[in-house]
Structure 1
């Protein structure tokens, strides 16, 4: 029971930390800075050094979208890191296997790929990796003929 109370307290702490969490990222061309909240929402947008004045609309839009995507990926990584200890099995109570969080359902596979390879792996991930490797091998062999 004490272990369960400890998990509940850890969840409450994590949720509290997320209320003030954000990620601030600049576009690669350094023309845009965005701040993204814990749910991936755009919380701030700044155009830097007047660079936007010399950009056409598609260039500026691309810079904004790139920065927002990177910010969302960074925020997703922070959230996953924060909740990672809760996904692990208890060392003292074998019945508590940890919370199973479907990050792909929450964030989508594209965002998870951006968030980095250090994400928590699930049992089916190895099979998906092997399928992707087989697909890559098939493409590579076609190019050699």
Structure 2
């Protein structure tokens, strides 16, 4: 992804013409976090939307919230200092599976259940103390 964004940065493109493409790349990055790091997509509340400048993000297994859409825009604007590869490799809160290749149950499954694919991380509605 970094290489692709670098190519966009080098081109003679107006930023406003790239907004849709950057959001699509951000959605892809978010889906990688969902599938490989145990995250789930969430709608941001009003305060989070203002902070991240995006309406959606991902919730990591440890409860941290990230904005992959914003990360991609930041990578485009800042450059290599905001590397997506480095972000993923140092990402706090990801499931250990992303490093070891073996699926592991998150530390607490009280707020999640196993989905049809056998993956943990499907939000359980109505469980007291769980934020969804």
TM-score bracket for this pair, using the shorter chain length: under 0.3
- Structure 1 length as normaliser, TM-score? 0.26
Q: When you count helix as a share of all residues, which structure comes out higher?
A: 1
Return the index of the structure with the highest Cα Rg.
1
Report which structure shows greater RCO (CA 8 Å, sep ≥6).
2
